[in-house]
Amino acid sequence: MYFSEPAGEGLAARREWSFVWGYGHYVIFAALAAVGAGLEVAVVWAGDHIKASEKGVITAVAVPIAVVLVMLWILHAPMRRTAVRPELIGITAALALLTTFAAPTLGVAGCLVLLATLLALLIAATIVTRSTGRAGA
């Protein structure tokens, strides 16, 4: 999804965004690293090596996923024509955050599957949007 929108033309037309574009990637990289750390927490939790609530474990994964999605939208906003529709990113980020409240009911594994499903649906919607030519303005 990140590479679905070429940035060169948008940044050339709006050079004032280059600072945000460049340094905004630090947030994306940190959030991606945090997703990995959150998944590590989930694995260690599953092995009964740490005592944490299911909600806390899922929060360690869901919050960084939401940050990556929001930053994806922010960094691609200057392009004016995003391949990924902003409303879909917002909905997916919000639903990812809401999975933390489902943790006591679904469990850690169920919430991780739910998060993966949400991301897969976002990718599928992006592919369908691109193939039908209905990208956001």
Please check whether residue 70 is in contact with residue 89, taking contact to mean a CB–CB distance below 8 angstroms: yes
Query: Does the predicted TM-score (pTM) go above 0.75?
Result: yes
In this prediction, residue 4 carries a pLDDT of: 67
Burial of 4 (0-12, 13-18, 19+ CB in 10 A): middle
Helices (runs of H) and strands (runs of E) counted in the chain: 4, 0
126 in Cβ contact with 82 (< 8 Å) = no
Q: Which of 114, 131, 125 is nearest to 88 (CA)?
A: 125
44-57 pLDDT, tens per residue?
A: 999 888 888 999 99
- 84 phi and psi angles, rounded to 5 deg: -105, 120
- Rounded mean pLDDT of the chain? 87
pLDDT tens per residue, range 74-124 = 887 776 666 677 889 999 999 999 999 999 999 999 999 999 999 999 999
- For residue 136, pLDDT beyond 60: no
What is the structure's pLDDT at 82? 64
Q: What is the average pLDDT across 118-137?
A: 78
Q: Read off the tokens for 83.
A: 């391949």
